Amino acid sequence: MFFFVGIAVVFITVFGGYIMAGGKMAPIIKAAPIEFVIIMGSAIGASLVSNSFPIFKAAMGGIGKCISGPKWKPEDYLGLIVLVGKLQGVMKKEGVVALEAHVENPDSSPIFGEFPKLAKDHSVVQMICDPLRLMIITQGNLDAEVLDEVMNTAIKQHHHDELRAPAALDKIAGSLPALGIVACVLGVVKTMGAIDQPPPVLGALIGSALVGTMLGVFLSYGFFDPFAARLTQVIDEEGQVYRVIQKMIVSNLKGEPQPVTIEAARSCISHHNQPSFSEVFDSLRGA
């Protein structure tokens, strides 16, 4: 909701102020489509040159994430804690080897099957299964501090990869003002070819050229720079799921009591998504 409110405020304040000052929208409306094609087309082309296609695709898809916001909701964090808790319950009751069926084939695991949204996320499943696989291989003789460092490295790398998308949007934002100048210069070149025309014609041509500069700056600071900032926020918040997994697995491996494990996991979650202690404790009871 805030996303569209923000877009509306940008348009209303910029063009509303222009109209209040006595400006006419007709020249802008006439010139904007062509200038937009030049500026955005070249910005997208430059982005394709400077990024791999997966990063470019993630950047463009990231605009949708700016609208929808983080995909993980309070019920997902509760489900995640219960999911990992149930897997740890299997390990506690049946031994670490009993986890192998769940870890090697999470798609057919009845525990993962209880949480379809989490089970569909490859990164979440991998972040759960890889440490548990190490515990199976080492027959439960894995040092908690070593595992903590391994998971920390994996989370940092994943986060670094995810942040390439907003970095690509930020690069587009940085290039748009300069590309607006390019469009403006082309408009001036066109104007110089009509230098023998009367002042009203030349004025219209110069005005059209200046729309390019305005549009480049407008798109940069009104849209793509905010897109990059918002996408970074979304990625940071979504990354909390990996910290929850890390805290639960490492805390359990250290042999800490369940209440400590629960609180360690909850502490990684933003307050607006954080399930209460009693919700988690009740859900984990008997897991």
pLDDT at 115 exceeding the cut of 90: yes
* 192 has a pLDDT exceeding 60: yes
The total of structural domains in the chain comes to 1
Query: Domain of 248?
Result: 1-287
pLDDT of residue 161: 96
3-state secondary structure the chain: CHHHHHHHHHHHHHHHHHHHCCCCCHHHHHHHHHHHHHHHHHHHHHHHHHCCHHHHHHHHHHHHHHHHCCCCCHHHHHHHHHHHHHHHHHHHHHCHHHHHHHHHCHHHCHHHHCCHHHHCCHHHHHHHHHHHHHHHHCCCCCCHHHHHHHHHHHHHHHHHHHCHHHHHHHHHHHHHHHHHHHHHHHHHHHHHCCCCCCHHHHHHHHHHHHHHHHHHHHHHHHHHHHHHHHHHHHHHHHCHHHHHHHHHHHHHHCCCCHHHHHHHHHCCCCCCCCCCHHHHHHHHCCC
> For the residues 211-235, what does the mean pLDDT come to?
96
pLDDT band at 287 (very low <50, low <70, confident <90, very high): low
261-277 residue pLDDT tens: 889 999 999 999 999 88
**How far, in whole angstroms, is CA 259 from its chain's centroid?**
32
**pLDDT tier for residue 286 given thresholds of 50, 70 and 90:** low
More confident residue, 101 or 229: 229
d(CA 253, CA 251): 5
pLDDT of residue 129: 93
Give tens-digit pLDDT for 143-157: 999 999 999 999 999
What does the pLDDT read at residue 203?
A: 84
pLDDT higher than 60, residue 18 = yes
pLDDT for res 52:
95
Model confidence pLDDT, tens digit, residues 161-171: 999 999 999 99
pLDDT digits 0-9 by tens, 42-57: 999 999 999 999 999 9
pTM flag (> 0.85) = yes
